[in-house]
A = this chain, B = another copy of it.
C-alpha cells in the first residue's frame, strides 16, 4: 500500500496537461457520415477536445480540386467547397476546430499514381507547385470568408503526413519534402502571417536524421516555423493473423526517450528553442487492427503516457477519436482493434475514460508517481488518477489535510470488471453486427462504476489489474431537512 500525504501548504508544480488539446480522425471525407458525427458528438460531450487532425483534406472524395478545359483546350483549375463546408460546419456544431494537415494530392494535380490505404490517397508530389500553392491558398481564403479571419488563423497548419515513409510520400524523398514544405509554408503565410505552420509530421522511422535535417533546412532557409510536429507509437513486432494484428507494448519510459531526443534537436537552435512540439499522432499500436486498442490495458497505459507527455510536448493527439475508419478497409466487427476511443455502435472503449478523467484534473500538481497523480484547484478540491499496468491489484491511501472535518469522495473506476465492453461483446459470442438490444447493453456496460464515500481523514482504494481509477474529493457539509434522519432510514424504522 502506497500512502500519499496531502497537506494544506505542500509544494505544488503546475501540471502541463494537454490531454484535451487535439484528437485524431479518419480521413476528412468520413466526417460527412452520420455515425462518424455521432461518435465525435459523444466524444465532445464527455471529453471536449479543442482540435481535430486527420488526413485527406485534398483527397478526391472531398472533391475540392477540379479542372476543366477552356475554349482553347487549356486545363483550368476550379475549386469545389461543398463537402468541405459540410465538414467544417459540423466541426463548429460540436465545438471543435480543425488542425489542418495539408494533404494528400488530388489525382488531377498529382505527378504520379502511387496511393496509400484502402481509400487510395495519392502520395506523390504535385505536378505543379504553383497549382498546389493556389489550391492551399484558395482553400484558406474560402475558410476565412466563411468562418471569419479571427477564427481561421487559430487553426494550426501542418504540411503533409509522415514523409519519412515511402508509403506516405513517394520514395520518402527528403529533398522533395523540404521543397513542398517551404513552398507551402510561404504560401500559407502569404494568406495570413498569423497562421501557425509546422512540420515535418514524421513518424519514428529514421526520425532523428529527418528531424536534424529538417531543422537544419529551416535554419538555413530562415523559415520562422511555428511548431515542430512528429508522431509517437509505443509497440513493436506486430504479428498478423486474418484481419488482426497482435502486438507487444514497449516500456513507456523507453518510448518517451524518443521525444526527449526530438526536443533537444529542436532546442539546439537558438531561434527554435522552446518552440512548441506537437505530437500530431500517438497511440500504442500504429495499426488499426490491433485488439489491444479495445482493452483496459490500453486505457491504463495511455493514463501513464498522459501524465508524462506534457513534459516535452505542447500537444499530443490520440490517434483517433472513433472507429469509422477505412485505412485497411471497412471493419468487419464493432470491436476490431481500431484506433478509436469509441467503437462502432457508439460504445466508449476503456481509453475513452482515461481522457475523460484527465479532462477533469485540476491545475496544480501535488503528486506525480509511476502509478498515479494528484492535483488540486489550490483550494479545498482534489482530483487524481491512478492506474495499474501490472497483473496484480495495487492499493493506495491518500491522507487529506486536517483542516476539513469531512470529505465527500466521488470515484470512477474502469477496469476488467467494469467498463469492459470488449469482454461482454466476447461473452455475447463476438457478433459482427450488433442488434439494437446488444448495442444498448454494451453502451451501458461501457460506463465506469461511480461511487461516493464519506471520510474524515484518508481515502484508501485498490486499483485492479489494468484498471484506471479517478477520484475527486471535496469538503462535505451536511444540511439535513427538518426531521430527516439517515441513520433511522438505514435502520428501516
Q: Which residues of A contact B (CB under 8 A)?
A: 32-35, 37, 63, 66, 68, 78, 80-83, 85-86, 89-90, 142, 146, 240-244, 246-249, 291-292, 294-295, 297, 329-333, 336, 344, 408, 410, 417-418, 422-424, 426-433, 435-436, 441, 444-445, 447, 449-454, 476-486, 488-489, 492-493
CB distance from A283 to the nearest CB of B (A): 16
Contact present for B427 and A482 (CB under 8 Å):
no
**Cβ 8 A contact of A242, one of B329, B445, B483, B489:** B483
Closest approach, in angstroms, between the C-beta of A342 and any C-beta of chain B?
15
Q: In the complex, which residues of chain B have a beta carbon less than 8 angstroms from the beta carbon of A330? A: 63, 80, 82-83
- Which listed residue (B89, B336, B480, B484) contacts A481, Cβ 8 A? B336
| 16 residue pairs from A and B, CB less than 8 Å apart | A32-B32, A33-B34, A34-B34, A34-B90, A63-B329, A66-B329, A81-B433, A241-B485, A242-B481, A244-B485, A246-B493, A336-B484, A410-B441, A428-B452, A429-B478, A445-B452
Taking the full assembly, how many copies of this chain does it contain?
A: 4
A391 closest partner in B (C-beta): B492
A241 to B295, CA, bound (A): 52
* Top 6 A-B residue pairs of the complex, sorted by shortest distance between their CB atoms: A242-B483, A242-B482, A63-B330, A427-B452, A241-B483, A291-B489
Indicate if the CB atoms of B484 and A333 lie closer than 8 Å: yes
**B481/A432 in contact, CB under 8 A:** yes
Min CB gap A164→B, angstroms: 28
In the complex, chain B residues whose CB is within 8 Å of the CB of A336: 481, 484
The complex places the Cα of A83 from the Cα of B30 at a distance, in Å, of: 13
Q: Which chain B residue shows the least CB distance to A344?
A: B82
B445 touching A450, Cβ below 8 Å: yes
- Contact A488/B246 with A33-B33, A81-B432, A427-B408 known, Cβ cut-off 8 Å: yes
Q: A83-B330, A85-B433 are in contact. Are A484 and B291 (CB under 8 A)?
A: yes
A28 to chain B, nearest CB (A): 13
Residues in B neighbouring A477, C-beta threshold 8 A: 429
The residues of B that contact A35 with a CB separation of less than 8 Å are 32, 86
Across-interface contacts of A241 in B (CB, < 8 A): 483, 485
* CB-defined contacts of A68 to chain B, threshold 8 Å: 242, 482
Of B78, B417, B431, B484, the contact of A244 (CB 8 Å cutoff): B484
Contacting pair B447 A447 (CB below 8 A): yes
A408 and B483 CA atoms in complex are apart in Å by: 47
Q: Which residues of B contact A90 (CB under 8 A)?
A: 34
A489 contacts B432, C-beta separation under 8 Å: no
Q: A239: nearest residue on chain B (CB-CB)?
A: B493
Whether B428 lies near A408 (C-beta < 8 A) is yes
Q: A247 — nearest CB in chain B belongs to which residue?
A: B493
Residues of B within 8 A of A418 (CB): 449
CA A418 to CA B447, docked complex, whole Å: 13
Give the chain B neighbours of A297 by CB distance below 8 A: 492
With a CB–CB cut-off of 8 A, which chain B residues contact A423? 452
Residue contact A482 to B78, C-beta cutoff 8 Å:
yes
By the criterion CB–CB under 8 Å, are A429 and B329 in contact? no
Task: Return the contact of A492 from the options B78, B249, B478 (Cβ within 8 A).
Answer: B249
Residues of B within 8 Å of A66, CB to CB, are 329
Partner of A476, one of B81, B247, B429: B429
* A427 to chain B: closest residue by CB: B452
Q: Closest Cβ of chain B: how far from A240's Cβ, in Å?
A: 8
Q: Which partner residue on chain B sits nearest A492 by CB separation? A: B297
- Indicate if the CB atoms of B484 and A242 lie closer than 8 Å: yes
- Which has the most chain B C-beta neighbours within 10 Å: A34, A330, A484? A484
Enumerate chain B residues within 8 angstroms of A492, measured Cβ to Cβ: 249, 292, 295, 297
Report yes or no: A427 in contact with B476, Cβ–Cβ below 8 A: yes
A451 and B445 contacting across the interface, CB-CB below 8 Å:
yes
Q: Are B242 and A433 in contact, with the CB atoms below 8 A?
A: no
A29: min CB distance to chain B, Å: 10
* Shortest Cβ distance from residue A367 to the other chain B in the assembled complex, whole angstroms: 24
Q: Which residue of chain B lies nearest to A289 when distances are taken between CB atoms in the complex?
A: B483
- A429:B484 contact, CB within 8 angstroms: no
A455 to B476 Cα, complex, angstroms? 44
| Cβ-defined partner of A489 (8 Å) among B410, B422, B479 | B422
A389–chain B nearest beta-carbon distance, Å: 10
Give the residues in chain B near A431, CB-CB below 8 Å.
Answer: 479
Across-interface contacts of A435 in B (CB, < 8 A): 146
Which residues in B have their C-beta under 8 angstroms from that of A484? 242-244, 291, 333, 336, 430
CB neighbours (8 Å) of A422 from chain B are 489
Residues of B with C-beta under 8 A to A248:
493
Whole-angstrom distance between the alpha carbons of A86 and B68 in the complex? Answer: 36
